[in-house]
Structure formats: structure tokens, C-alpha cells
Amino acid sequence: MTAALDWLSNGLWQLSAWQLVIFTLAVTHVTIVAVTVYLHRHSAHRAVDLHPALQHFFRFWLWLTTGMNTKEWTAIHRKHHAVCETEEDPHSPQVQGLKKIFWQGAESYRDATTPETLKRFGAGTPDDWIERNLYTRHGVLGVSLMLILNVALFGAIGLTIWAVQMLWIPVMAAGVINGIGHYWGYRNFECPDAATNIVPWGIIIGGEELHNNHHTYPNSAKLSQKSWEFDIGWMWIRLFQLLGMADPRSTGPVVEKVPGKTTLDLDTAWAVLNDRFRVMAKYAEDVVSPLVEQELSRAGNATRGVIRSARRVLCRDASLVDDEGQRRIEELTAASPDIKLIYEYKQRLLDVWAKRGGNAEELVKELKQWCLDAEASGIQALRDFVEELKSYSIPRAAHA
Ligand SMILES: [Zn+2]
Ligand SMILES: [Zn+2]
């Protein structure tokens, strides 16, 4: 009798409080890996191929611990990238407000799941027997089984573990990534939407913290870009690759810098075009930053905050500059001819890729002209920038 009561309150697997915490973190981590590696990088972006056995494991695990459906998740997410930060975006805090996305992110998903969206954006997702007859038809059966399993294993505390599992994705993925990842944080790249990197160490939510990198290179299986950034999802992909179960298709653009190369040829133009976000980040770092600092210091108006905000507004993607930002740009460019000049050169460089229209000769011609003018501008930082730009090339292996 006592044994039975004991079993009821403590379950079959008697763990200490710490062991229970570790267990909970482990199962939620598996869920996060399933979301980031399987749903996000594999299904939505096709950035990594996964072995069928691994795909089946992730589908089963997601059904068991989240009740999420691959087709729905994939479609909503592809739509998010396609119409980012517009009224159509299924979850933009810039449009719907951070509060709404943070607290009701999961509801935004449900509201956006329409048959048209599934049809338009859900192509290539699983449609086999188990998907139709179990995962889609009995979506809540999995999480119910999980509840029974948790209570059987751990007794009453199993309920709490289950609640944490159920809340993990709506709060951490839908709330934190879709909300904060388009609102607060730092930006390595000026991608044309508001995506931010929340912290440089993507561990808790599997690397998805590096959301600005992801929006810049959406087809890259690896979400970290700087040497000091860490993406645990990528670590798992490499491990699966070692076991022959994953094959990353892309990790973002690869360019080579050839020391001493001084001619701007087609290779340079393609390399620069492919790597344009990093090229623009470099322009911000090496040309805009020092010049803004120098000009503002000369005017006796150079606290760190002022310099930083001036640099940010001058380099920001035009679609993200509000009226206040526009006024600030006019003020800064009116106050210094040099700032005006580097701002105009930034716009012109953006125009080089915006106007290219797939024509290689035109691209090389425009880029050459930009470089010639920049060299003649008399600004040393701009000349140094051009010199480095000319050394860009496409790695030999990539030609094959
Ligand atoms: Zn996003
Ligand atoms: Zn994505």
C-alpha cells in the first residue's frame, strides 16, 4: 500500500530535484534542436539535408513534445521571410507591437495558418501515411502521451515538467525570437528588415538568438558569422555530419581575398555582390565610423553615444529609417561635406547591386566607376576600402 502511494507521488524514476532540472533542460533542448535543425534549417530553408531516420525522429519528437506540424511551421516561417515587417508578416513586432508578439506569439501563428498560406509556402513538406494519419489528424495525442509519460515517470512533479515543455516553444521561440529578435539586440549586417542578434552565444534557443545573421544569410545552415559568436545548432549539425546523418548545403557566401590583386574583374564583382552585406558592414566599420568620429570631434560634439547613433543612422537600411532618422541624416550631412560624401557613396554602392538586373558586364562597369570615383574623392579611408575591395575573388574550388 505504502509502496503504491509512494509510486503515485514520486513516479517510477526517482530523481533528486537537481536531476529533475537537468532532465527538463535536456528534453527542452532536444525540442529546440528539433525546431532549429529540422523545422527551420532543414524544412523551411533547405539549408541542410538530413538522413530520413533523423527526420523521422525529429517529427516524432515534435509531435510528442509540442504538437507542432511541419507543413504549418514551414509555411508560416517562409512567409515571414518573404514579407518581413509588413502587414502580411505573420509575426512582426515592428507591425503588431512587441507586447503582442512576445505574449501571444503562438496565437499569431494560429491566426496566420490559412489554407492559402499552407498551399503557397508549404511545398515540399512531409505528406506520408504517418503525417496524414497520426501527426496531422491527432495533433494533440502526442502531447497528451507526453503528459501521461511524465506523470508515470516522476509523479506529481511530472505535471510541472510537462508544463515547462509545453511553454518552452511558445515563450522561447515564438516570443523571444520572433519578438525580441526583431526588436532588441545588435546587428552585424544591414539586412532590409529589423532582425537583430539577441546575444552572441546561441545556446538556450539553439543558435536562433543570431537572428540578424540568419535574416542576412537565410539559406546558411550556420547562424554564427563572427569568430566570437557561437551557434549550438551548428554544433549539432556538425556532429550529425560526422555520423553521416547531415549534409549542410550552404554556410553563407564564401569569398577569398587575394593579396596584391589590383584589378577589378568579374570574379571581384561576383564576390563583392555575394558578400555585399559583409562589404557594407565593413564600409560602416572602416569608412563611416572613423570619419564620423573625426568630424564630430572637430565640431566639439563627440560623446561616444552621439558618434554611435550618428554612425548607426547613416548606415541603416533605408527601409528602417524613420522621419526622425531622416532629419538626423540631413543634419549630419549638412554639417560636414565629408560625411555627405561618404553617405552618398554608401547609397551609390547599394545602387550598384540594386540595379544590376542580372547583367554581369553592367555590374563590373558600375562597380569600376564607383571605385574610380571613390579613389578620386581624396578621402583616405575610402581609398583604402577600394584597395581591399579589389582583392576580393571567388575561391578557386567554387569555380568548379
Ligand atoms: Zn525573423
Ligand atoms: Zn528563417
pLDDT in tens, the chain (400 residues): 566 666 667 788 888 999 999 999 999 999 999 999 999 999 999 999 999 999 999 999 999 999 999 999 999 999 999 888 888 898 889 888 888 888 877 777 788 889 999 998 999 999 999 999 999 999 999 999 999 999 999 999 999 999 999 998 888 888 888 889 999 999 999 988 999 999 898 888 999 999 999 999 998 999 999 999 999 999 999 999 999 999 999 887 778 889 888 889 888 988 888 888 999 999 999 999 999 998 888 877 677 788 888 889 999 988 889 999 999 999 999 989 999 999 999 999 998 888 766 677 888 899 999 999 999 998 999 999 999 999 998 876 544 3
388 alpha carbon to ligand 1 midpoint, in Å?
Answer: 32
**Among 248, 274, 290, where does a domain finish?**
248
Q: Are residues 364 and 392 located together in one domain of the fold?
A: yes
**Among 248, 275, 308, where does a domain finish?**
248
Q: Which ligand is nearest to the CA of 178?
A: 1
Q: Are residues 161 and 199 located together in one domain of the fold?
A: yes
247 alpha carbon to ligand 1 midpoint, in Å?
Answer: 24
91 alpha carbon to ligand 1 midpoint, in Å?
Answer: 8
Q: Are residues 233 and 276 located together in one domain of the fold?
A: no
Whole-model pTM: value is: 0.85
Q: Are residues 20 and 151 located together in one domain of the fold?
A: yes
Q: Are residues 145 and 276 located together in one domain of the fold?
A: no
Q: Which ligand is nearest to the CA of 77?
A: 2
How many Å apart are CA 362 and CA 282, to the nearest integer? 24
259 alpha carbon to ligand 1 midpoint, in Å?
Answer: 37
Q: Are residues 330 and 203 located together in one domain of the fold?
A: no
Query: Are the C-beta atoms of residues 315 and 190 closer than 8 Å to each other?
Result: yes
Q: What is the domain extent for residue 90? A: 2-248
How many Å apart are CA 344 and CA 163, to the nearest integer? 54
290 alpha carbon to ligand 1 midpoint, in Å?
Answer: 31
**Among 197, 226, 248, where does a domain finish?**
248
319 alpha carbon to ligand 2 midpoint, in Å?
Answer: 20
Q: How many CB atoms lie within 10 A of CB 273?
A: 18
204 alpha carbon to ligand 2 midpoint, in Å?
Answer: 17
Sign of the CA dihedral with 46 first, then 48, 53, and 58 last: negative
Q: Are residues 58 and 204 located together in one domain of the fold?
A: yes
Q: Are residues 261 and 239 located together in one domain of the fold?
A: no
202: enclosing H helix or E strand:
strand 201-202
State how far the alpha carbon of 398 is from the alpha carbons of 247, 264, 353, 395, in Å.
17, 18, 21, 5
Q: Which ligand is nearest to the CA of 191?
A: 1
- Tally of domains within the chain: 2
85 alpha carbon to ligand 1 midpoint, in Å?
Answer: 9
Q: Are residues 80 and 228 located together in one domain of the fold?
A: yes
45 alpha carbon to ligand 2 midpoint, in Å?
Answer: 7
Which of 39, 67, 47, 243 has its CA nearest to residue 126?
39
> Which grid coordinates are listed for 88?
502580411
